[in-house]
Amino acid sequence: MKRLRGFASDNNASVHPDIIQALINANEGHAVGYGDDVVTERTRLLFKEVFGESVEPFFVYNGTGANVISIQALARTFNAVVCARTAHINVDECGAPEKISGCKLLPIDTDNGKITVEQIGAFMHGFGFEHHAQPKLISITQVTELGTVYTIEEIRKIADYVHGLGLYLHMDGARLANAAAALECSLADVSFNAGVDVLSFGGTKNGLMFGEAVVFANAELAENVKYIRKQSTQLHSKLRYTSAQFEALLSNELWLKNAKHANEMAQLLAGEVWEIEGIEITQPVDSNGVFAIVPKAIIPKLQEEFFFYVWDEARSEVRWMTSFDTTKEDIQEFVAVLKKAMAE
Residue 310 as a binder of its own copies (CB under 8 A): the answer is no
Sign of CA dihedral 127, 130, 132, 135: positive
CB crowding 60-90: b at 16 or more within 10 Å, else e? bbbbbbbbbbbbbbbbeeebbbbbbebbbbb
Residue 136 as a binder of its own copies (CB under 8 A): the answer is no
Give the nearer residue to its own copies in terms of CB position, either 77 or 116: 77
Residue 203 as a binder of its own copies (CB under 8 A): the answer is no
Residues 52-81 that bind its own copies (CB under 8 A): 61-65, 68, 72, 76-80
| Antiparallel, parallel or unpaired: β 168-173 and 309-312 | unpaired
Residue 38 as a binder of its own copies (CB under 8 A): the answer is no
Spatial distance between the Cα atoms of 150 and 110, rounded to a whole number of angstroms:
13
Are 245 and 209 in contact, with CB atoms under 8 Å apart? yes
Residues paired with residue 339 on neighbouring β-strands, in sequence order: none
Are 228 and 72 in contact, with CB atoms under 8 Å apart? yes
Bond into 143 cis (ω within 30)? yes
Are 84 and 141 in contact, with CB atoms under 8 Å apart? yes
Residue 94 as a binder of its own copies (CB under 8 A): the answer is yes
| Antiparallel, parallel or unpaired: β 56-60 and 79-84 | unpaired
Are 245 and 27 in contact, with CB atoms under 8 Å apart? no
Among residues 25, 32, 127, 163, which is the contact residue for its own copies, using CB under 8 A?
32
Give the nearer residue to its own copies in terms of CB position, either 192 or 216: 216
Binding mask 262-301 for its own copies (x = CB under 8 A): ----------------------------------------
Residue 164 as a binder of its own copies (CB under 8 A): the answer is no
> Which residue stretch of 4-12, 163-171, 190-198, 291-299 sits at the interface with its own copies (rule: CB under 8 A)?
4-12
DSSP structure class, residue 211:
-
Task: Write down the least CB distance from residue 128 to its own copies, Å.
Answer: 9
Among residues 163, 226, 296, 340, which is the contact residue for its own copies, using CB under 8 A?
226
Number of residues that bind its own copies (CB under 8 A): 74
Give the nearer residue to its own copies in terms of CB position, either 15 or 342: 15
Give the nearer residue to its own copies in terms of CB position, either 183 or 337: 337
Residue 105 as a binder of its own copies (CB under 8 A): the answer is yes
> Exposure of 323 by Cβ count < 10 A (0-12 exposed, 13-18 middle, 19+ buried)?
buried
Task: Write down the least CB distance from residue 22 to its own copies, Å.
Answer: 12
Residue 11 as a binder of its own copies (CB under 8 A): the answer is yes
Among residues 14, 151, 186, 193, which is the contact residue for its own copies, using CB under 8 A?
14
> Which residue stretch of 22-30, 193-201, 252-260, 264-272 sits at the interface with its own copies (rule: CB under 8 A)?
22-30
* Continuous H helices in the chain: 17-26, 38-51, 63-74, 88-91, 96, 117-121, 152-164, 176-183, 225-231, 240-250, 254-274, 298-305, 328-343
Among residues 1, 28, 184, 344, which is the contact residue for its own copies, using CB under 8 A?
28
